[in-house]
Structure 1
Amino acid sequence: MNAFHRRAARTAARGLVLPAAALTVLAVAAPQAVAHTELDTSSPGTEATLAGLPPNVMLTFSDDMTQKYARVAVTGPDGKSAATGEPEVRGKTVTLPLDVTSPAGRYTVGYRVVSADGHPVSGSYTFTVTTPPSPSPSPRAELSADAPPSAAARETQAGEAGEKSSGTTTALVGGGALVLVAAAVGAYVARRRRTGHDD
């Protein structure tokens, strides 16, 4: 009878050990599952429609990120990258600068980052830009509007001024010559008249 009770006790003990071990594994694994890093917010948001491309994309995660493993790409409707630099990590936020002159259309944001605890996170989403960027004025046009006249223009202006001065001089010389001729004719006529009176 004693042997029977001892065997029953050992069987019951073995039956309790397995559930206790399972509970211990679950208790250890639960914090890891809770600690899984996720994307909390993004700007622009998923499927957002914007009037123009923003100066950057901002991704905010549930944990601090590491700069070394931060990878973010933004691809435009022409299949080209819209980024103008590398992603920058500040705590939980990863920022990627964008070229605001990129064309209108559908953009795809792809990311793969690693949290400070070593948890990798990856994913993608899209947003749409409806208005193309306004054209900026040509630097050459701005320079031509503000710059002083060129050498050729100065020569042309000087030539025109010279022609005007030459024309004025010619007119003055011609007028003076006419006055001299008129004076000579007047003197000749007066002399003739005096000669006639003397006869």
Structure 2
Amino acid sequence: MYVTDRRAVRTAARVLVLPAALAALATAAPRAAAHTDLDTASPAADSARAELPPRITLTFSDPMTQKYAKVAVTDPNGKSAATDEPEVSGKEVSLALDPTSPAGRYTVGYRVVSADGHPVSGSYSFTVEAASDSSAPSARETESEGAAVPRAAEEAAGETAADSTDGESSGGESSGGTVPVLIVVGALAAAVAAAVGAYVVRRRRARHGD
């Protein structure tokens, strides 16, 4: 009777312990096989922004380790836009960016390791749109400024021509004033010569008459 009871206890233990162990393994297996993922990113993938944010922030499904957090952001020219090393705070990894970086397409690359040893890597891109420069002259203003230059040149040329015409007019009046004087002097000389000739003729006739 005693032996039979011991065998029954052992059989019951095996029946109870085996399912419990299998249940424990089934519960632990998904956790051990779970993969750390990138949950959210700011700026988001394929997004367009008016300006570059002061920092990029990546949020993962598990806490990260500072030692193995690697994040890089390259600008449209292929240069690094980061100003410091990545910072880890729980599940978040952030990286400060240079606000003077140019507009265009940015690429984010990351490789991090979670606290339980799972590595995570990937990349994505976002765009910073070029801001419109209100201080730059518009095409219409440029055309107006371009047209103003020929007008100014034409006005200057017109003033120069007017000054030249005035000078020529003054010179004509001076020349015209000199011509009448010469005519008067010539007429007087001719009159004097005629008078002298008439006097000489009369003197000769008078002599012949004597």
Q: TM-score, normalised by structure 2?
A: 0.50
Letter aligned with residue 105 of structure 2: R
Q: CA deviation at 1:22?
A: 9.1
Q: Which residue number in structure 2 is paired with residue 62 of structure 1?
A: 61
Q: Which residue number in structure 2 is paired with residue 91 of structure 1?
A: 90
Q: Deviations over 1:55-105 (max 9, x none)?
A: 000000111110000000001110000000100001110010000110010
- Unmatched segments (≥5 aa) in structure 1: 1-20, 135-199
Are 1:32 and 2:32 matched, yes or no? yes
**Which runs of structure 2 are paired with 1:64-143 in the superposition (5 Å)?**
64-131=63-130
Number of matched pairs? 116
Q: Deviations over 1:123-152 (max 9, x none)?
A: 000000002598xxxxxxxxxxxxxxxxxx
Determine the C-alpha separation between the residues in 1 that align with 2:39 and 2:32. 18
Please say if residues 102 and 133 of structure 1, whose CA atoms lie closer than 8 Å, have aligned partners that are also in contact.
no
Q: Which residue number in structure 2 is paired with residue 10 of structure 1?
A: none
Q: Alignment RMSD, CA only?
A: 2.5
Q: CA deviation at 1:29?
A: 2.7
Determine the C-alpha separation between the residues in 2 that align with 1:32 and 1:77. 40
Higher Cα Rg: structure 1 or 2? 2
Are 1:42 and 2:24 matched, yes or no? no
The structure where helix makes up a greater share of residues is 2
Q: Deviations over 1:104-127 (max 9, x none)?
A: 100000000001111100000000
Distance 1:133 1:122, change over 3 A: farther
Letter aligned with residue 32 of structure 1: A
Distance 1:80 1:50, change over 3 A: same
